[in-house]
Amino acid sequence: MFKKIFGIKDDEVKENGILANDEPAANGFFGRIKEGLKKTRREIASKIEKVIFPGRVLDDDFYEELEEILVLSDIGAVTSNQLVSELRKYVVMENVKDADKVKSYLKQKLGEMLSSYEGKINVPVSKPFVIMIVGVNGVGKTTTIGKLAQRFLNDGKKVMLAAGDTFRAAADKQLEIWGERAGVEVVKGKEGADPSSVAFDSVASAASRGVDVLIVDTAGRMHVKKNLMEELKKMKRVIGKAMPDAPHEIIMVVDATTGQNVISQARMFMDEIGLTGVIMTKLDGTAKGGVIVPLVREMGVSVKFIGVGEDIDSLQPFDGRLFAEALFD
């Protein structure tokens, strides 16, 4: 049903659940990533062009200006310093005189750095595979769950959703809409019910119905609210009691428009419940997309997907090299 609603053709679906036009072609996967990062790319390009131009002398002033630009582009102080340090060595070793080569080198090195943080979700034969989705208020968790569910459906998996956000009245309704569109069952409790009990029931239901993937929604909470984090930890424990080794993935949805704040948010969630990866949304609506770099490098966490638009196929698997290419292209 998602295919009809969003105009997805059957021949666009590949066996691995990634749409056929996700291939890194000009109008496919790379095209959508590049378009989604347009605001960020413009922000970085407008600054870099002020220091990287034909005839520019590659002296200490150049390197200092370039490092400052990278830091101000949300790429982070540590990564910016490393990039510039390695650039200095490259310029000396290769006797580089042309400033134009600097841009391609930065693109290549950043892509190499980010490629080690690509995260894939591999669903094993044993079932159900339980994914717990967490994050602060307003980052787009429920919408992301719907898009993620469709990817698994495209891969031929039987999917179930659990409405673990019992505090917000509209949360289960929103999840139900996604479930109805895809023909996916949604397990929910009464408004105000214990979210842990909903999670427990959903695991039991998924196991009895032969569900391949169970995606558990949780209430959006500020990372500084200790009582809410305790509730989240309880939910994780209860899921583990319902099924040993579950949840198999704990993925945090982060909003790119919040910039550097995503790092402190992710750090708190990592410390409290542990994270297996992140999904960064709303990259198309901000010039702060560079923040994904310090997020993964400081946290050591992989990126499962990035959101570069509103439509169903805007949730794209993270590719470090293509991401760097889209930033500097």
- Residue-range domains of the chain with CATH: 35-115 (1.20.120.140), 129-318 (3.40.50.300)
pLDDT in tens, 190-245: 766 789 999 999 999 999 999 999 999 998 766 456 677 888 999 999 999 999 99
Q: Name the residue with tokens 């982060």.
A: 254
Q: Could you tell me which residue, 166 or 56, shows the higher pLDDT?
A: 56
Average pLDDT, the chain: 85
Q: State residue 168's pLDDT score.
A: 66
Tell me what percent of the residues of the chain surpass a pLDDT of 70. 88
pLDDT band (50, 70, 90) for residue 126: confident
Comparing 16-30, 35-49, 185-199, the range with the smallest average pLDDT is 16-30
**CB atoms inside a 10 Å sphere around CB 235:** 25
HSE of 106 in the Cβ direction (CA atoms, 13 Å)? 24
pLDDT higher than 70, residue 158: yes
Q: State residue 182's pLDDT score.
A: 75
Mean pLDDT, residues 68-78? 92
Q: State residue 80's pLDDT score.
A: 95
Q: State residue 225's pLDDT score.
A: 62
Q: State residue 165's pLDDT score.
A: 83
Q: State residue 202's pLDDT score.
A: 96
Q: What are phi and psi of 150, to 5 degrees?
A: -65, -35
pLDDT higher than 90, residue 52: no
Comparing 75-79, 187-191, 194-198, the range with the smallest average pLDDT is 187-191
Mean pLDDT, residues 280-297? 94
pLDDT band (50, 70, 90) for residue 81: very high
What would the two tokens of residue 267 be? 């750090």
pLDDT higher than 90, residue 117: yes
Q: State residue 169's pLDDT score.
A: 64
Q: State residue 99's pLDDT score.
A: 78
pLDDT band (50, 70, 90) for residue 289: very high
pLDDT higher than 50, residue 5: no
What would the two tokens of residue 4 be? 């009809």
pLDDT higher than 50, residue 175: yes
Q: State residue 310's pLDDT score.
A: 83
Tell me what percent of the residues of the chain surpass a pLDDT of 90. 58
pLDDT higher than 70, residue 3: no
pLDDT band (50, 70, 90) for residue 31: confident
pLDDT higher than 50, residue 9: no
pLDDT higher than 70, residue 252: yes
pLDDT in tens, 304-317: 999 988 887 789 99
Q: State residue 264's pLDDT score.
A: 92
